[in-house]
Structure 1
């Protein structure tokens, strides 16, 4: 389990190193996940220890939201002051996400039924 966790951290470190070295506007952990994906594709899937470690991390994922909840409580006044723009952003992003999902589903369904004919 420690080796698998070290592997996950190594990919995160590699992503962060790439981000800094190449001055990329993408978060390092995202680059690390892309590198991990390429690694897993090359190996044709995760090893059993990596699968077990990832499963354990996912089971405890709710703990990762504790710092975010603390930040919300810490900046509650600022959230109240900027409630209007936050509400507009939330509603607009939700509508755009729903529209993109609906359009994608529509196009894929149309493509699939076109292939069946």
Structure 2
């Protein structure tokens, strides 16, 4: 029953994100609204981490399974993708390297900042 309650909380936040998407005409996916709502609720203490921890851990563990339909969809549209596979591949490689580099630099900056705060 505990897992059902946790899943209900997560789905309720997702539903509220869907409703916000319907009311706010911005080009932002409903899932982003839901993520922002969940982050806000967790940071403010409206929802305690313990109230969603086990179910969210389970959902993260099975996340690779969620990509199977998208992969099948890509295979299904191979005819359209065949002509542009090299430009798409180059974009994927370049953006992956850029994201990894920026993430690394930001992480290093945060670690340095935390070390300075500890030493002071």
Q: TM-score, normalised by structure 2?
A: 0.77
Query: Which secondary structure does the structure 2 equivalent of 1:47 belong to?
Result: helix
* Residue aligning to 1:46: 49
- Unaligned runs of at least 5 residues, structure 2: none
Structure 1 alignment gaps of length 5 or more = none
1:67-106 matches, cutoff 5 A: 67-105=69-107
Shift of 1:114: 6.8
1:84 CA displacement: 2.4
TM-score by length of 1: 0.79
Structure number with the bigger relative contact order (C-alpha 8 A, sep ≥ 6) is 2
Number of residue pairs aligned between Structure 1 and Structure 2: 116
Structure 1 vs Structure 2 CA RMSD: 2.4
